[in-house]
Structure formats: structure tokens, C-alpha cells
Amino acid sequence: MARVEVEMPQMGESVMEGTVIEWAKEIGDSVEEDETLLEIATDKVDTEVPSPQAGILIEKLAEEGDTIEVGQAIAIIETDADEADVSAGGGSAEEETEAEEPETEEEPQQEEVVAQESSEEEPSGGDTDEEGERVEVQMPQMGESVMEGTVIEWAKSIGDEVEEDETLLEISTDKVDTEVPSPQAGTLVEILVEEGDTVEVGQTIAIIATGKAASASADTKSASTADTQKTKEETTSTQKTESKPAEASTSSNGAPSGGTEPQRIGSDGRFYSPLVRSIAKEEGISQEELESIEGSGQGGRVSKEDMMNYLKERKAQPEQQSQPAAQPSGGLSKPSTESKPASQGKKGSISAGELDIQRPSENVERIKMDRMRKMIAEHMVRSKQTSAHVTTFSEVDVTNLVRWREENKHKFQERAGVKLTYTPLFIEKIIQAIREFPLINSSVDTENDEIILKRDINFGLAVALGEGGKGGLIVPVIKHAQDKNLVGLAKSVNDLALKARNKNLNPDDLVGGTITLTNYGSVGNLMGTPIINQPQVAIMGTGAIEKRPVVRETSEGDVIAIRHMMYLSMSYDHRIVDGAHGGAFLNRVKELLEDFDTDRAV
């Protein structure tokens, strides 16, 4: 049996990606060669993708609606042919070479190389154990929305022996950190990605060799290293030589006048897709300028839409903002002595040079920002730049809720096997209010000018990690929260909080949220203005519950009573939620909390 990869086809010279519209076949279905497997859409054309061979569809690597880069595998077909037949086109490479009469001296050499490569990658059945093979280790998929990962640390070095499932390296995504095991026992002969590098899911990051393939790789390692070093030296020399002419070759608006395509991985660690790099090249956008563009994708990734919006703003800028005229040839530029205002740098930050942070006051300590802190910073800034934030507050009398919980928490724990905190009680009432105000449970599709109403309420919980929250912030999600009763919500809250603090969350625990709750009252704070968790349109916050004297109306007149009071806040996106609607929703949550039934059964 052989496994054949179906790849996203190239549907035009400038088309770099395609979107899966609909699958025509399901997993387990038989397909004939050239029979339609799925339908895809690009920015140029919609078309059907045929099966490259007859067989059975055993795996779908992309869901309907997913956008995939050209050349990336989207499905696996299992055929009746042998592995060797598939790799060599139905017969061994040696037989093909001998059967064909060479017309020129170059052609048989080329076929001989193909034959050698084929035999290395797919050794024929009986010789596999003796000859060995080279196994690619790929960046794994760590969640539905995770498209890339960063290598934190290699646990093995080139030449080390590894067992099957033994840890090779540790990777980090914007959702979770995890270890990557070896898919097969053998020798680590190649490391293709250095520590700190960010690579796409599915990209090869290492090579494991078994049997004779391991020794052959070891023999060629020293020569390969020397060639690599020589290439690096030549590249460095070329870059130094060409740097000055490249700087001079600019257009009137300061962009390169037809430049080279930007790098795949920028100095900011972000991945730039072929489509984005192609647009940048066509529009004369330099690497530095590309890295200054705020991305709306996962981890700040720049999308086609981001590029189009940036180009609109770029073209709208007045000509006087372009770079000043160059100095006459042979003249020396005179340094400016005028004071300049602080300039806007990358991602909205103030340029370090203008504030002169290299010469701070004496008693300072520089602390390196870890990856989680950088991701939180990027997400928070991007959210403020994306949504029109408005925060509104309400003072809530939660006396009935507090009394019921105090009277029933021990009974609840005995029956449900889990502690009853205030959080599931708050979530329950917020869900009730969302049913009446569904717009709160939505997101904005700016590309199509549409509001996406979510039928499922997937409730995100902001959880602080480490002592005093020094370990960062993470937002696990209770999926289908609208279908859970109080016991189910309590179990989900406790389970996710425990997994978050023990760093045992799965990638899928962190995606798909439609609204978020943050409890700043857990550290004694009364009020807060939380930042919306994109792409949601609302986040709610609960302050500390305190006893306070309040005025209450009775049949005998106004009285001052001691009540359990709490401030409830909600930040919402004014792009689609207006003040009246947001205020009405918050007041409805307030009513539901204040009217809590104290006779409710446990």
C-alpha cells in the first residue's frame, strides 16, 4: 500500500494560496484517478481538484473554509500500489534507466540522479532494514488555528542516537509549549531549524537516518558543513558590497524601486506568506517597512487584507511626507542639530533612538521579555488598534447569590464532587442574558463587511499564571457553555483553571472563544477596564464582592442596609455594539444576578 499526498494546486502565476470550499468525498470513500476530490477558491478562480491516483481517501488535512498555501498537502490517498511503484512511477528507477536508450550524454546522468534520490527516499521492500532510510521530522500541528511554531531548544545534537518517541526538541506556539518526539529510532543527521526560529506547520525541521543511511549521512556531514560555511561567507561579502547601491535605489515615496522579495521569516520573528511577500515585492515594500505593518492574523501575522489596507493608507499620504531630496553627488550631508519629536516606530511604539533609552538613570535592571509576555503585548496592542473599545460599569447587589452559595457550597461539593466558586454562577447568568442579546456573542468580518453571529457560546476564562500573575495570562475556553448546567459549568471552570496552572492545556482548549470573563476581583480590585480578546466583541469583568451600606426602598420607607455589593464591567466593540445595546445587556446581567433564587435546589 502507498500513501499519496494531494497538494493545493497552483492556479495561476500570482496565486499563492487557495480556500477549501467543499469536499466532494468523505474519509473512507473510494476515488478514481482524476475524480473530483474537493472544490477550491482563489482570488482568481474557483475550480475542482481531481485525485492524482485511484485509491481511498484516508485523511483530510484541511477543513472547509481553511485557506492553504500552494504546494501544501491537503489530503492523503491510500493506493493499492507499492511505495516503490509510486515513487518510481510504477517500476524501479534502474529498470527505466536501462530500458530507455539515451539520446544525449546528459539525459542518462539526469535519470541516474533521479534513480538515486528515489532509492534513498523510498527503498524497495526487502532492503529497507539493511540499507536504512532518511525520515523527515516535521513541525507538528498543535491546534486547529495554529499555523506555526518556534523552536525553543533541541534535546539532541547532530550524530546523537534517538529512540522512537524520544524527545527531539521543545517547541512553542501562541497556544502551548510542548515536546516533539522522534517518529522513528535512528540517528539525528540533520537539524534544519535553529533554536529561536519560527517555522510553518508541516515544514521539515530535522532528518533522522536509520541503518546505512545514518553512516552515509555522517560521511557527508563534514563536506556539507564546509560548503555551507563557504556559502555564508560569500553571501555576507555580497551583501556588504551591494548594501550601498541598494540603499540608493529608492523611489520618491521612500520605498525600494522594484526590489527583491522580502524574507520569509522577518527579524521580528513573524512568518510572511508567499502572497504577502509577492505583494511587497510588486509594491516596492522593503523588509523593514513590511515588518512595521500591523498584522491581524494569528500572532500578528500579516494577511493579504492587511497589505491592501496598508497600501491604501500609503498611497493616500501627501507627497511632502516622502523622504527629503538626496544630497548632491560628492557633497557631505550635514548632521541636523534641530530637536525632533519622538517618531512612531514599529507596531505603534515610540522609536528607541528618539527617547534615548540607551542612557537611562543609574539604578535600572533590564529584564528580557519571554515569549508569552511578547505575545500578550502584541495581542493587547492589536486589540486596541482593531476594536473601538468602550467600557461601561454597573453596581450589582449580589447578596442573594452570596447567601445561597454559602448555604449550599458544602452540599454542592458532596453531590457534584467539585467546589462551587462564584465564577460558574456568573457565567450562568451571562449566558442567560446572551440568549436575549445575541449580538454580544459575535465577531466582525471586516473583509466582507459582515457581522458573524455565533450560535455556540464558547466562554473564555482569563487565568493568571504563576505567583501574582508573573507567569503571564492565558484564556482557556469552555466549549458549548450554553448546553451545560451549573454542575457542568463548575466542573469545566475548575478543570480548565487547574490545567492552565499546571501547564497541561491542549491547543484546542485555547481556541474558539466567543466571549470572555476576567475576574480582577480575585486580587481585591473593585473595577477594571478589560481589553477585548480578539476576534470577540465583548469581555466582562467582575470586581471584589464587599459589604457596603446601601439605601433600599421598603414599604415603610427608605432604609440603609448592609449588602454584598460588586462592580460589574463590560468592554465592548463600538463598531457593532452601540452604547444603548451594550448598556441594556449589562443591566440585564445585573437584574439576573440580583434576582437570584435563594430557594433554588442544589
181-236: pLDDT as tens digits: 888 899 999 999 998 888 888 899 999 988 765 555 555 554 444 454 544 455 44
Do the domain assignments include residue 172?
A: yes
Q: How far apart are CA 410 and CA 415, in angstroms?
A: 9
Give the least confident one: 29-33, 94-98, 160-164, 362-366. Answer: 94-98
Q: Judge if 401 and 501 occupy the same domain.
A: yes
Q: Are residues 492 and 583 in the same domain?
A: yes
| For range 242-271, the mean pLDDT | 55
Concerning whether 574 is annotated as a catalytic residue, the answer is: yes
Q: Taking the CA atoms of the chain, what radius of gyration do you get in angstroms?
A: 30
Task: Classify residue 55: in a domain, yes or no.
Answer: no
Give residue 451's pLDDT. 95
- Mean pLDDT over residues 552-579, rounded? 94
The last residue of one of the domains, among 290, 312, 334, is 312
CATH number of the domain within which 286 lies: 4.10.320
Residue 158 contacts residue 220 (beta carbons within 8 Å):
no
Q: Would residue 61 count as lying in a domain? A: no
Same domain, 266 and 217: no
Distance between the two ends of the chain, CA-based, in angstroms? Answer: 58
Number of residues in the chain:
602
3-state secondary structure at position 19: strand
Residue 334 gets the label, from left (phi > 0), alpha (psi -120 to 50) or beta, of: beta
Instruction: Give me the pLDDT at residue 530, please.
Output: 95
CA distance 333 to 338: 15
Strand partners, 393: 569
CATH number of 396's domain: 3.30.559.10
Verify that 196 and 290 share a domain, yes or no: no
Cell 550601498 sits on residue: 244
**Could you tell me if residue 261 is left (phi over 0), alpha (psi between -120 and 50 degrees) or otherwise beta?**
beta
Catalytic residue among 85, 177, 508, 574: 574
The predicted pLDDT at position 299 comes to 64
Q: Within this chain, do residues 444 and 545 fall inside the same structural domain, yes or no?
A: yes
Three-state DSSP at 17 gives: strand
Q: Which of 280, 258, 260 is nearest to 270 (CA)?
A: 280
Q: CA-to-CA distance for 29 and 49, rounded, in angstroms? A: 16
The alpha-helical segments, DSSP class H, found in 389-468 are 399-416, 422-436
Domain count, the chain: 3
CA 313/CA 454 separation, integer angstroms: 32
CB neighbours of residue 597 within 10 Å: 9
Kindly state whether residue 471 falls inside one of the protein's structural domains: yes
User: Which grid cell sits at 301?
Assistant: 501575522
Indicate whether 510 pLDDT > 50: yes
pLDDT above 90 (res 550): yes
Predicted TM-score (pTM) of the model is 0.49
> Do the beta carbons of residue 183 and residue 208 sit within 8 Å?
yes
Answer with the one of 273, 289, 312 that is the final residue of a domain. Answer: 312
Residue 257 in this model has a pLDDT that exceeds 70? no
Same domain membership, residue 281 and residue 191: no
Residues linked to residue 181 through DSSP beta bridges, in sequence order: 167
Q: Say if residue 335's pLDDT is above 50.
A: no
Residue 398 vs residues 45, 327, 562: alpha-carbon distances, Å: 57, 71, 12
| Whether residue 586 is found in the same domain as residue 491 | yes
Task: Give the pLDDT band of residue 279 (cuts 50, 70, 90).
Answer: confident
Is residue 62 within 8 A of residue 41, CB to CB? The reply is no
In this predicted structure, what is the pLDDT of residue 527? 94
414 and 462 both lie in a single domain: yes
* Domain membership flag for residue 398: yes
pLDDT surpasses 90 at 46? no
Cα(72)–Cα(126) distance, integer angstroms: 31
Does the annotation mark 480 as catalytic? no
CATH code assigned at 187 = 2.40.50.100
Q: For residue 459, give the nearest of 423, 409, 487 by alpha carbon.
A: 423
pLDDT given at position 587: 97
Q: Kindly state the percentage of the chain with pLDDT values over 90.
A: 37
Determine the structural domain holding residue 262 and report its residue range.
257-312
Please tell me the least confidently modeled range out of 221-225, 285-289, 414-418: 221-225
Highest-confidence segment of 107-116, 315-324, 548-557: 548-557
Q: How far apart are CA 387 and CA 533, in angstroms?
A: 10
Percent of the chain surpassing pLDDT 70? 71
d(CA 341, CA 323): 17
Catalytic residue among 129, 456, 578, 595: 578
The answer to whether residue 469 scores a pLDDT higher than 50 is: yes
Mark which of 293, 312, 331 sits at the end of a domain: 312
Q: Residues of 294-327 as b/e, b for ≥16 C-beta within 10 angstroms?
A: bbbbbbbbbbbebbebbbeeeeeeeeeeeeeeee
CA angle 211, 217, 222 (to 5 degrees): 150
Distance between CA atoms of residues 415 and 422, nearest Å: 17
What is the predicted pLDDT for the residue at 85?
53
| pLDDT value at residue 45 | 58
pLDDT, tens digit, for every residue of 347-364? 444 444 445 555 556 788
Residue 534 has pLDDT above 50, yes or no: yes
Distance CA 49, CA 40 (A): 7
* Residues 428 and 562 reside in one and the same domain: yes
Q: What is the DSSP letter of 583?
A: H
HEC string of 105-153 equals CHHHHHHHHHHHHHHHHCCCHHHHHHHCCEEEEECCCCCCCCCEEEEEE
- Kindly report which listed range (45-49, 233-237, 487-491) carries the lowest average pLDDT score: 233-237
70 with 10: CB under 8 angstroms? yes
Rounded to 10 degrees, what is the CA torsion of 91, 48, 447, 461?
-60
The predicted model gives 575-582 an average pLDDT of: 95
Shared domain check, 263 and 230: no
8 A C-beta contact, residue 543 and residue 529: no
147 pLDDT above the threshold of 70: yes
Q: Indicate whether 101 pLDDT > 50.
A: no
Given a cut of 90, whether residue 571 has pLDDT beyond it is: yes
Look at residue 90 and tell me whether its pLDDT is greater than 50: no
Same domain, 155 and 273: no
pLDDT mean over 417-434: 96
Strand partners, 465: 472
- Would 442 be classed as within a structural domain? yes
Q: Which helix (H) or strand (E) holds 379?
A: helix 371-386
**Which of 301, 299, 292 has the alpha carbon at shortest distance from 375?**
299
Q: Are 22 and 49 in contact (CB under 8 A)?
A: no
288 lies in some domain: yes
Give burial (CB, 10 Å; 0-12/13-18/19+) of 440.
buried
Of these ranges, 43-52, 152-161, 462-471, the one predicted with the greatest mean pLDDT is: 152-161
C-alpha cell, 330: 560628492
CA 235 to each of CA 133, 243, 411: distance values in angstroms, whole numbers, following the listed order: 32, 12, 72
Judgement on whether residues 269 and 232 belong to the same structural domain of the protein: no
Q: Give the chain's mean pLDDT.
A: 78
Residue 320 within a domain: no
